[in-house]
Structure 1
Amino acid sequence: MSTATAPAAVRPRPRGDAPYAVVGRPRNEGHGKRLTAAFEALEVFPALAESRNRLLALIAEENPSTGDVVRAIESDVALVISVMRLANGLESPKRGQVESVVSSVEVLSPEAVQRLAANAETFEFFERGKTWDAAPERFRLHAVAVQRAADRLAAAAGYAHRDRLLVTALLHDVGKLVLMHAYPGYPKQVHGPARTPEERLHYERRELGVDHALVGGVLARRWNLPNAVASAIERHHSDDAQGDAAFVRLADMLAHYSQGSPVSSTELLRAARTVGFGPSELRSVLYDLPYPSQDRPRAVEPCPLSSRELDVLKRLAQGMVYKQIALELSLSTSTVRTHLHNIYGKLGAVDRAQAVLHATERGWL
């Protein structure tokens, strides 16, 4: 990684007795130097050993499920960072354009993922490293909580970029790790009496001249992650956030709410409206949040069915009979039967119920 001075856009303004002066850093140490050193420290941010071990065990299987591999990677921020960076760093037409873990797994070979996991720095539940102390576990817990909330919102809204959103949700607070390493008084001495996410962001800007969202966006670009991901990280606290950033903003508030932390009800409702949720929809989400999700599964593994076969199967799932399907799709009954025969063969199903169940569990319906 380059050791060039951090961009001026993320260089905190001197503020006299700012918190970082209180916690022992030399006053003459430049802000750019602090941030650059912190960016480099993220090169060895550790994965949870259990997450790494589960991924290695999956990869070692004879025919590992793509969906299981994706879920194992998405369980850990450090693994997501490593896989996304590797996929976006390859010399290929997709360089810098791989937006999700699903796409990364498609681009990378199983051997590449295995090497990446085997070489990953790790931490244990019951151990604290010298560099990061308990930060990796606290960060992981909040990141996963935001990811789950974002996934529930995306499923309810029918959001088209669900896989990309899950990456952004996991990485949305990566800038906090930078500030934590650059300023040992962060976050307690910087956030002071702030209670809500909005108040904490205000104190960061006042005391450091930057906030964790802006720093996180810069870091994502240094990692060559797609602009859609970097921009959403950078703007996830913005009042005018749209798309991924708006969903992450609301998911972040919901995660704080579910963990019993103070959240402004006014800001929560305002954020919900930006993704098309009114008071009624938001109440439903708040009520359901503590319970297991019943949302439609994600289509992680490639669907083996043709578009026409999928059309037939969708109507079969709706309870239509052959003649109804044929009429709606302008096909002959014998053609519908042929499509169903091919569907059963591709899915390894013996009847319509098994075919529908198989496709539904994999998110193809």
Structure 2
Amino acid sequence: MPPAAASTEVTSSSADVQRRHNEGHGRRLTAAFEALEAFPALAESRNRLLRVVRQERISTGEVVAAVESDVALVISVLRLGNQVEGKSRGKVESVVQAVDLLSPEAVQALATRARTFDFFERSSVWDAAPERFRLHGVATQRAADRLATEAGYEDRDRLMVTALLHDIGKLVLMHAYPGYPGQVHGNARTPEERIHRERRELGVDHALVGGVLARRWGLPKAVASVIERHHADDAQGEAAFVRLADMLAHYSQGSAVSPTELLKCARTIGLGPSELRAVMYDLPYPTTGRTRQVDPCPLSGRELEVLKRLAEGKVYKQIALELSLSTSTVRTHLHNIYGKLGAVDRAQAVLIATERGWL
């Protein structure tokens, strides 16, 4: 056989092998995408959501908090919200928006139908993956919330979604490759080292796969893009917030992170070493940042002014003087405030308004 013909045959054979490899790779990922349709919610998360939506007086804020505690519930609520006909179709970027669109009955029906996982009664299909995944997702979400407070980031509602879902691509890779993550990551220690191992061993990484999955689910581009780019070296905006939050979650859980990468990413979102130290110090403690205003406030502007002064410990005469009102008018406002909030006294009125983010 002439040398040129032999060379052509070898090249053709190599191309066929690569093509078959790519086809097998694609089939594995497609099967894994389909398997994720059955990803379960934590049983306790589902039960808490059902308790909230079955209350006589339903708080939107409590519904949002119950949904945002669980990866599967967030996915289900967002997917359903993005299917609602109208101007918002395909544009619902947060659980707040989705809950506002969906009726309590729709959320209850969704929760009732949800597949569930219980750590003490787990099956061989998922083992402990949903619980481990949720723990890191919630830790990242909490770190992102703390960063948003520190940096004054405004798209906090969407950030709660992208931070919780940032690693959904790992679930795909777990299904597609039995050796993932142990055999693929090997002795890699930091998030950066692990993502490079994925690219080298698999030809893709979990961030890229997660973005593809989010688009398959019909989630908005803004959400899918953040998930896809949260490990990019040049991540900006919300992707940088999630990348930093992911590193901080690993740090808070005792895993190795790169100090250089932490500082580099922090500077991208406008935080210096002193601000980053404050965030890192606060992570083990309960979040005490500003309350998210989710439920619509039933109080008028004047009633809020009166309640704010009441929360400061001021008496009727002081409030009346500051607002140029009579004391009887102040009393009337307070009577209306109690009625609208379902409060029996000033302390309860202040507590309710504070918890719901109106003060």
TM interval, shorter chain, is 0.7 to 0.9
2:330 is equivalent to residue 333 of structure 1:
no
Q: Taking structure 2 as the reference length, what is the TM-score of the superposition?
A: 0.86
User: Equivalent residue for 1:149?
Assistant: 143
8 Å contact kept, 1:312–1:340: yes
Q: How does 1:1-365 map to 2 (within 5 A)?
A: 30-307=24-301, 309-310=303-304, 313-314=307-308, 317=311, 321-322=318-319, 325-326=322-323, 332-334=324-326, 337=330, 342-349=336-343, 354-365=348-359
Q: Taking structure 1 as the reference length, what is the TM-score of the superposition?
A: 0.84
Shift of 1:325: 4.2
8 Å contact kept, 2:136–2:249: yes
- Residue 361 and residue 42 in structure 1: after superposition, are their counterparts in 2 closer, same or farther (change >3 A)? same
- Residue 275 and residue 342 in structure 1: after superposition, are their counterparts in 2 closer, same or farther (change >3 A)? farther
8 Å contact kept, 1:76–1:140: yes
Shift of 1:29: 5.1
Hey, what's the Cα distance between the residues in 2 that align with 1:157 and 1:208?
36
Once the two structures are superposed, residues 50-74 of structure 1 have per-residue CA deviations (whole angstroms, 9 ceiling, x without a partner) of 2112222222222232222222211
Shift of 1:173: 0.2
Shift of 1:351: 6.2
Shift of 1:227: 1.6
Q: Secondary structure at the match of 2:120?
A: coil
Number of aligned residue pairs: give it: 339
- Matched to 1:72, the amino acid is A
Shift of 1:345: 4.0
Shift of 1:278: 1.1
- Residue 218 and residue 287 in structure 1: after superposition, are their counterparts in 2 closer, same or farther (change >3 A)? same
- Matched to 1:251, the amino acid is A
Shift of 1:350: 6.1
- Matched to 1:195, the amino acid is R
Hey, what's the Cα distance between the residues in 2 that align with 1:242 and 1:314?
38
- Residue 310 and residue 159 in structure 1: after superposition, are their counterparts in 2 closer, same or farther (change >3 A)? farther
Normalized per residue, the structure richer in helix is 2
Percent identical among aligned pairs is 76
Q: Secondary structure at the match of 1:333?
A: coil
Q: Secondary structure at the match of 2:232?
A: coil
Q: Secondary structure at the match of 1:277?
A: coil
Where do 5+ consecutive residues of structure 2 fail to align? 1-13
**What root-mean-square deviation, in Å, do the aligned CA atoms of Structure 1 and Structure 2 show?**
2.6
